Amino acid sequence: MDVGKWATARRTTRQISVGDVKVGGDAPISVQSMTITKTADVEGTLQQIYALAAAGCDIVRCTCNEIEAAEGLAQIVPRSPVPIIADIHHQYKMALAALEAGVQGLRLNPGNIRRPEHIKAVAAEARDRNVPIRIGVNAGSLDPDLYTKFGGATPEAMVESAQREIAYFQEVDFDLIKISVKASSVPLMVEAYRQLAEVTDYPLHLGVTEAGPPPNGLIKATAGIATLLMEGIGDTIRYSLTADPIEEARAGRQLLEALGLRERKNVDLIACPSCGRAEIDVIDVAKRAMEAFGEREIPLQVAVMGCVVNGPGEAREADIGIAAGNKRGHLFVKGRNVAVVPESEMVEALVEWAEFIHEHGAEAAIARVDVSIAEREAKRDRDALMETQGSDANHSSERIVEIRRTVGN
């Protein structure tokens, strides 16, 4: 997978299989989320799983905290479109029940199941069933003796917690392992993963735990996950947001696409921040465009620009875009003006042209019209705007004069 020339080469890790999804090695970085339904509610949980899969989720985790949840998993797993991981906390027997239900993976928190015989019993059963386990270390729930030894939740304490669990697994010859060392503090999380990456080659699952609601939660999670991915660390990710889990899946997919770590699936919409030349409410048009594209799988870069003077040139690398001028929308494909539409039809035209380009290609889209007409109309509106607004629509020269006066005084 091409990570782009600015990212550090991806860390080499072992590869495991979570159902039919490969994790680690040269496999694409996968996106995970977790259902928030009661797992015993089979139909409700499946509905959420299908929605998560449609939003770009590769693996879904479900809680298994009671016998009814394990029984629900037995019905959910065979009907799920993606592999299911059972989330286990204090009761090791729930892990055994989840394995019996047929889950494709387990998540164990070593701070919650501490008795070695219980840990090894689960690992041995997972070994026999060829089911991987994620060692899910959490800064807020470490074994108490680690807090004492390291003076709190430190990167070193988190890494040692993971290593202890690995040692128990090794005693029963189990090595289908992936690891996470999550914290709600971004700097703590980043440093813990960096240290862990130095001492093990198991695949790593990235996340900032309890990141909170958007937009702050999105910022925190992105800061931690993206930092590590650009350093070549990480094999699978999850945004832990206080929100609909669909938002987690979308955010994870969008982050990987933005970093060039997964092929684009949906529209990448870019828009100018608006300025003195803007002929439209750019924020409103961009919002309506995103809503219009919705879940259409059109992997194009689409631009919404505020004016026809600079828009087509600034967004010339976009597959398609639209710029406003003189109450009209000027459509452009790869920087070339191709059509003029009424301002009220800008969004609809943008979607229609994007769908055509996705199906037939940019060259075919350009070839279906007489571009000289669109270019002539675009020039007319550019000239009109320049005549009325001049070359300094943002009044920058006036600000410069004031700056010089201020400094001069």
User: Is residue 57 in a domain?
Assistant: yes
Cα(38)–Cα(69) distance, integer angstroms: 7
For residues 189 and 297, state if they share a domain: no
- 203 pLDDT higher than 80: yes
- 326 pLDDT higher than 80: no
| Residues 236 and 15: beta-carbon distance below 8 Å | no
- 1 pLDDT higher than 50: no
pTM of the full structure: 0.81
| Residues 50 and 35: beta-carbon distance below 8 Å | no
**Average pLDDT for residues 35-55, to the nearest whole number?**
92
CATH code, 100:
3.20.20.20
Q: What is the pLDDT of residues 3-16, one digit of tens each?
A: 456 667 899 999 99
User: Is residue 322 in a domain?
Assistant: yes
Query: What's the confidence (pLDDT) of residue 5?
Result: 60
In this structure, the strands spanning 320-325 and 328-333 are: antiparallel
Maximum average pLDDT range among 48-57, 281-290, 346-355, 395-404: 346-355
For residues 174 and 322, state if they share a domain: no
Q: What is the pLDDT of residues 262-306, one digit of tens each?
A: 988 788 888 877 777 677 788 888 899 999 998 788 999 898 888
- 37 pLDDT higher than 50: yes
> Where in the sequence is the domain holding 23, given as residue range(s)?
15-258
What is the overall mean pLDDT for the chain?
91
User: Is residue 371 in a domain?
Assistant: yes
Sequence-ordered list of residues with C-beta below 8 angstroms from that of 8, at least 6 positions apart, any chain: 230, 231, 232
CATH code, 382:
3.30.413.10
